[in-house]
Structure 1
Amino acid sequence: MQAKGSKGQLILAYETAYGQTPSPASTVKLPFNKNTLTAKQTLTEAQTITGRRDAAVPVRGKVDVNGNLVVPMDAKFIGYWLKAMLGDPATTGSDTYTHVFKPGDSMPSLVLEKGFTDINAFTLYNGCKVNQFSLSLGGDSELTASLDILGAKETLGTASFAATPLDLPLVRFNHFQATVEENGQVLANCTGVDLNLGFGLDGDIYSISGQGCRTAISEGPLQVSGTVEVLFEDQTLLNKAINGTESSLKITLTNGDYSFELLLPEIVYERTSPGIESAKGILISLPFKGYYENNAAETSIQATLVNDVASYAME
């Protein structure tokens, strides 16, 4: 029987030590749209002279665990990815909880298991970290986020390592539930926002005793960037870009009592004046960079998630 993507499964757990599966594992079953996480090991042609014209046995190289996950933007599961990127949140409340995430000095490493449940084939990836996060707002499609993953090693199995993973109901956010504020004011003429978070992971750390696997994945400086697209009704944002005027950006998604907020307290726009490409209305797209210098939140990015999940500790 051929494995079907519709029967795929994604399990997450946080490692207590890099590259080691926690035991007993506290796990969660996550929804996803796409999972291309794989391990690759190159074969290099050997140059050894054997006295024959036949090719020598090829040399096996390093193991490269990497791939992309596309996940739905939702009010509950996104907290596990926020913890993977930014660390443990500060959580307050009862019944309804507010989780505030800010980037720390390090990132937790993950166990991610890709399951082909219809043929009892499971692939466990240790030492995983999020290298990049991307979110695009605007349009009429399903609202999803993209995560690029680096990992250490791959282990094949015929049964899942997660006996009873936590399985929560999915509460989606949609494009029409978004609000964008620029410098504290609602940006009513905004047609789209692209946001990219880069975590600068070093994927080139392979020690001699590591059996060809990554023995560490160190974090680099956080990179916050994106693009704001608005109707070209005046030159307000363009003037900010020309003058290098500091601003801020806040994206809020709301579904009933649940909400997700991304705050960029300090941004500056890149100067990009609009062209005229057709007889239709003109849009202006302004790239931006986020940073921390002296804002009250003391961070370059802050994510606030309000839901009924009491904790993301998973201990």
Structure 2
Amino acid sequence: MAKTRAYGADCMLLAAFETVYGTLPADGYGRLSFKESSLGAERPLGYDPLLGQGRDAQDPFYEAIKDEGDIGVPLDVRALGFWLKGLFGTPATADNGDTTFNHVFTSGGTLPSLAIEIGHAQLAVPKFFRHGGAKLDKLSFDMARSGAANASIGVIAQGETEAAATIDATPTTFALKRFSQGSGTIRVGGGQLANVTGGKLSFSNNLERVETIRADGLIDGVDETEATAEGSVDIRFGTDTTLTSAIAAESPVEMEYGFTIPGSSFALTFHLPRVFLPKKKQEIKGPGGIQASYDWRAARDPVAGYLLRVTLVNDVTGY
């Protein structure tokens, strides 16, 4: 039965990679699971009062269009590869010979643009919002002892259009299988870091909007600038000196954030070959356990040739 009010449970998100920036493909879309979305176009009102027109306010004017926002997605085994391709570019894929494939994404490359449609098909008058010329700017997620593993992806698009029908009535789908926080690990120097209670990782392409003067108010494109990665690890103070020794020596460490699926070969790893940590003071806040949060910043490793490498192992043949 058609509805008169929109609900998040009824929303659908379709996405496909563009051949030409800003030109939406006619088909070939995939339906992707998501938790939330703030992606949308805005055209704010500007105001420039003139004198001699009396005390009442005059007409405002329309500023340029800004189409951007964040999409919350699950860290899952299969569909995540689509988002990683948007964040890092086409991966290097290798067949493991056991029905699984390694998809390796590395920072610093040229990014493809996407077309994204967010639809409300169950409304009495269906509405579908299409975003062309979308590029993925940021990826961030938290590590914890329990709970679902989710990420937030920042998107910058060229513009939004509204349609009464979906752009692809037969999109492809990925069988959903999620990673969980309970199977996550943080490693330093190849070994499991002890006494970890939490962590964060944030990667950014630091995209720059090409804001030229155009009659339609749209941007001309989105360009990649310096790729950066930073985050934190929360540690219970104890006998493990892995981080404190590296901090004292003012030397970088190799760090890896990862997830696995118990009983399978499926895995997701974020490898940072060169991570710097600042010295932190030890604060004591009562009789309980003493904990410190170490913020870190990654740099490109000239030997490895990258800042961040993401490896996704699953049963998808390619992206």
Provide TM-score, normalisation by structure 1.
0.93
Kindly state the Cα deviation for residue 47 of structure 1 after the two structures are TM-superposed.
Answer: 2.6
> Cα 1:304–1:51, aligned 2, differ >3 Å: closer, same or farther?
closer
* 1:281 alignment counterpart: 289
Letter in 2 for 1:285: S
Could you tell me how far apart the structure 2 residues matched to 1:49 and 1:157 are?
A: 42
Aligned counterpart in structure 1 of residue 111 of structure 2, from 104, 107, 114: 107
Distance (Å, rounded) in 2 between the aligned partners of 1:200 and 1:78: 20
1:239 positional shift:
3.0
**Does residue 270 of the first structure (1) align with residue 278 of the second (2)?**
yes
CA contact 1:274–1:285 (8 Å) conserved in 2: no
Alignment of 1:134-283 (within 5 A): 134-203=140-209, 205-209=210-214, 211-234=216-239, 235-255=241-261, 256-283=264-291
- SS across alignment from 2:222: coil
Per the alignment, residue 20 of structure 2 pairs with: 17
- Note the C-alpha offset of 1:150: 1.1
> 2:108 touches 2:306 (CA, 8 Å); kept in 1?
no
List alignment gaps of at least 5 residues for structure 1.
Answer: none
- Residue equivalent to 2:91: 89
SS, match of residue 231 in structure 2: strand
CA distance in 2, matches of 1:29, 1:270: 42
- Rounded to whole Å, the distance in 2 between the matches of 1:38 and 1:92 is 37
- In 1, Cα distance between equivalents of 2:121 and 2:52: 46
Q: In the alignment, what sits opposite 1:3? A: 6
Pairwise CA RMSD of aligned residues?
A: 1.6
Corresponding residue pairs, total = 309
Where does residue 128 of structure 1 map in the other structure? 134
- Is the 2:108–2:227 Cα contact (8 Å) retained in structure 1? no
1:153-200 Cα offsets, whole Å, 9 max, x none, are 000011111221111111110111112210111113222120010111
Go from structure 1 to structure 2 and tell me whether the alpha carbon gap of 1:280 and 1:57 turns closer, same or farther (over 3 Å shift): same
Question: What one-letter code is carried by the residue in structure 1 that aligns with 2:83?
Answer: W
Question: 3-state DSSP class of the match of 2:171?
Answer: coil
Could you tell me the TM-score, scaled by structure 2's length? 0.92
Residue 72 of structure 1 contacts residue 144 of structure 1 at CA under 8 Å; is this kept in 2? yes
Task: Give the 3-state SS of the residue equivalent to 2:313 in structure 1.
Answer: strand
SS of aligned partner of 2:317: coil
